[in-house]
Structure 1
Amino acid sequence: MEEHFVWVTTRRIRPGTLEDFEGAWRPGPHPQGLRRAFAYWSEDGQEITGLSFWDSKESCDSWRTSESEAQRRAAMAPYVVEEREGFYHGRELILPHK
């Protein structure tokens, strides 16, 4: 099974700022080593969980410490109330056929 390297970030944002937050959230340059990214919003639009899949922990760490990421975080900061994040590795679960 293929192993995945995943960065997960959950942010609570200020009420009514989802559209502005989304504009600030999207990175300008495509990060090197990023395979796929997903974002999920709570029903009230005040919590966003992002999942990004990377080639390796090193490529994720390189992006996380880059100037581009620092600028992106600064652009999001006015909208963010709380943030939790972590790096994980794992694999897809294969579901049994019924």
Structure 2
Amino acid sequence: MDEHFVWVTTRRLRPGTLGEFERAWRPDPYPQGMRRAFAYWSEDGQEITGVSFWDSKEACDSWRDSEPEKQRRAAMASYVVEERERFCRGRELAVPQR
């Protein structure tokens, strides 16, 4: 089974700011070494979880230490009440066919 390198960030947002947050949240330029990224948000729009898949932990760390990422985080800061983040390793689970 293929092992994946995943960065997960969950943020609690100020009420009514999901749209503005999403505009600030999109990376520019797109990070080198990032394979895929997903965003999941709560029904009330006050919590969003980002999940990104990377070539390696080093690629993720390099992006996180970059100037564009520092600027992106500064642009998001006014919308964020709380943030939790972590790096994980894992694999896809097989789901039985029905």
TM-score, structure 2 as length reference = 0.97
Deviation at 1:23, TM superposition (A): 0.5
Provide the residue aligned with 1:61 in structure 2: 61
Whole-angstrom CA distance in 1 between matches of 2:48 and 2:42: 6
Provide the residue aligned with 1:13 in structure 2: 13
Q: Percent identity?
A: 79
Where do 4+ consecutive residues of structure 1 move more than 4 Å? none
SS of the equivalent of 1:20 reads helix
What letter corresponds to residue 88 of structure 1 in structure 2? Answer: C
What letter corresponds to residue 76 of structure 2 in structure 1? Answer: M
TM-score, structure 1 as length reference = 0.97
Deviation at 1:97, TM superposition (A): 3.5
What letter corresponds to residue 32 of structure 1 in structure 2? Answer: Q
Whole-angstrom CA distance in 1 between matches of 2:41 and 2:90: 23
SS of the equivalent of 1:60 reads helix
* Cα offsets for 1:9-44 (capped at 9, x unmatched): 000000011110011000110100000000001000
The answer to whether 1:70 aligns with 2:70 is yes
Which segments of 5 or more consecutive residues in structure 2 lack a partner in the other structure?
A: none
Q: What do you get for the CA RMSD once the two structures are aligned?
A: 0.7
SS of the equivalent of 2:44 reads coil
The answer to whether 1:50 aligns with 2:50 is yes
